[in-house]
Chains A and B, each alone.
Chain A
Amino acid sequence: MKLEITDCKGIKMIALSGEVDMYTSPELREEMMNLIRRRTSPLFVDFSGVSYIDSSGIATFVEGLKGIMSYNGKLKLVGIPDRIMEIFNFSKLDRVFEMYGSIDDALNSLNSF
């Protein structure tokens, strides 16, 4: 897994690529929780380079969402590949997370309120 924290038009974004699994999830958790401790919102996560995610990765995002909701923050998942979307759907989490096809869609969602 490769993880990069970038600024996307002033918004913090975690850009992930590769495999998010039992061995790499702890690093993702640490980085995401650091941002959440600083009450980052909105937080974007770019999934477009992710080739695989297992249940530890999904659980890490559930933890992140729980943390971010504690201060009414927003976590937005972007560019989820179909294969990975299937797992979110199956876990009934597609209706729990805010998901967007592209970064532009996620940015537009910020302006729509």
Chain B
Amino acid sequence: MENAIEVVGLVTHYGDREILKNISLSIPKGKTTVILGGSGCGKSTLLRHLIGLLKPTRGSILINGRDITVMKESELNEVRKKFGMLFQGAALLNSLSIADNVALPVKEHTRLEDSTIQIMVRMKLDLVGLSGFGGFFPSQLSGGMKKRAGIARAMALDPEIIFFDEPSAGLDPVTAAGLDELILKLRDVFKMTIVVVTHELMSIFMIADYVIMLDAGSVIFSGTLEELKASGHPRIKMFLDRQAENENYNPEDYLKIIAGE
């Protein structure tokens, strides 16, 4: 299986706190890979590294065989043209119409005629089920529609790899399922490499070809969805069975914590 991304020995810190602890993983080309884990496990931090927004303390991230952690900003910008990214809140520009939001990256990075760009924008909006909404502004759209508009913008430059950060967050189950179907469509038709960060179990079961699970900054699983379901790892079982975590404070530790010692 050919890999689109390879992470080798990645270590990162926020201040003194180690967030990613020497992690290595591979993301297969043309598949949907879900990065999952509980809140605070480091999955969004990993995503920010994959798109080159953060520099690690150590380690490398190979995209098409080239290490993006040592690239200059100008080189990184060239690589980023092959990426699409749907941010958690869709991150649309509120002062621009939906069509102008989708057109923006194309205008920024190509010398295509405006008439061509307008057709491309209508194609992308149709792809995400927003035909006819190009003249609307983000404030006039529902949460699910904003996410779809965000996907249309992420698709604007026909990326090779598209990243989704918690795509279902804040959406009702029906809208979230519609978004999952759209992700599958992108994989099947455009053969895109899709990376989804989520902790939504329903989504994972619907879209994942390949799963990477993080726990406290380490990779505790990588493999297929079937292998994940069959795993006997206690943390994975807790996650899949939605079990709450036990708090194991002893009274002395608790006193130290609240007394600030």
Question: Which residue from B113, B115, B123 sits with its C-beta under 8 Å from A55?
Answer: B123
Residue of B nearest to A33 (CB): B113
> CA A63 – CA B126 in complex, angstroms?
17
Binary CB contact string for chain A from 50 to 70 against chain B (1 if under 8 A, 0 otherwise): 000011101110110000000
Contacts between the two chains (Cβ within 8 Å), count: 44
CB of A96 to closest CB in B, whole Å: 12
- Take A86-B189, A87-B189, A90-B189 as given contacts and tell me if A59 and B116 are in contact as well, using a CB distance cutoff of 8 Å: yes
Closest beta carbon of chain A to B189's beta carbon, Å: 5
Cα A29 to Cα B109 with chains together (Å):
18
Contact across chains for A22 and B119 when beta carbons are under 8 A apart = no
B162 within 8 A of A: no
**Given A63-B115, A63-B116: A22 touches B123 (CB 8 Å cut-off):** no
Per-position binary interface string of chain A over residues 11-40, scored 1 when its CB falls under 8 Å from any chain B CB and 0 otherwise: 000000000011101100100000000000
- Pick the contact of A62: B112, B119, B124, B127 (CB < 8 A): B119
**Which single residue of chain A is at the shortest CB-CB distance from B117?**
A59
In the complex, chain A residues whose CB is within 8 Å of the CB of B115: 63
Q: Is the CB of B110 within 8 A of A56?
A: yes
State whether the Cβ of B157 lies closer than 8 Å to any Cβ in chain A: yes
Residue of A nearest to B121 (CB): A59
Q: What residues of chain B lie closer than 8 Å to A62, measured between beta carbons?
A: 119
- Please list the 5 inter-chain residue pairs (A to B) with the smallest Cβ-Cβ separation, ordered nearest first: A59-B119, A54-B158, A22-B110, A59-B120, A90-B189
- Chain B: residues with Cβ within 8 Å of the partner, total of 19
Q: Does A91 contact B (CB under 8 A)?
A: yes
- The answer for the CA separation of A105 and B115 in the assembled complex, in Å, is 32
Which residue in A23, A25, A87, A92 is a CB contact (below 8 Å) of B116?
A: A25
Interface of B toward A, CB cutoff 8 Å: 106, 109-113, 115-117, 119-120, 123-124, 126-127, 157-158, 189-190
- CB neighbours (8 Å) of B119 from chain A are 59, 62-63
Compute how far the CA of A30 lies from the CA of B120 in the bound complex, rounded to whole angstroms: 17
Asked whether, in the complex, the Cβ of A22 is within 8 Å of the Cβ of B124, the reply is: no
Cβ-closest chain A residue relative to B111: A26
Residues of the A chain whose Cβ atoms lie less than 8 Å from the Cβ of B158: 21-22, 54-56
Across the interface, do A59 and B123 meet the contact criterion of CB distance under 8 Å? yes
16 A-B contact pairs sorted by A residue (CB < 8 Å):
A21-B158, A22-B112, A22-B157, A23-B110, A25-B112, A25-B116, A26-B112, A29-B113, A55-B123, A55-B124, A55-B158, A56-B110, A59-B116, A63-B116, A87-B189, A87-B190
Give the CA-CA distance A56 to B202 in the complex, in Å: 35
Q: How far does the alpha carbon of A54 sit from the alpha carbon of B119 in the complex, in Å?
A: 13
The smallest C-beta distance from A103 to any residue of chain B, in angstroms, reads: 27
Neighbouring B residues of A60 by C-beta, 8 Å: 116
User: What are the residues of chain B within 8 A of A21 when measuring CB–CB?
Assistant: 158
Q: Name the CB-closest residue of A to B81.
A: A22
- Quick one: which of A21, A29, A55 has the most chain B CB within 10 A? A55
Which residues from B are CB-within-8-Å of A86?
Answer: 189
Closest to B185 in A: A90
Question: Which partner residue on chain B sits nearest A91 by CB separation?
Answer: B123
- Chain B contacts of A92 at CB under 8 A? 126
Binary interface profile of A, 63-106, with partner B (CB < 8 Å = 1, else 0)?
Answer: 10000000000000000000000110011100000000000000
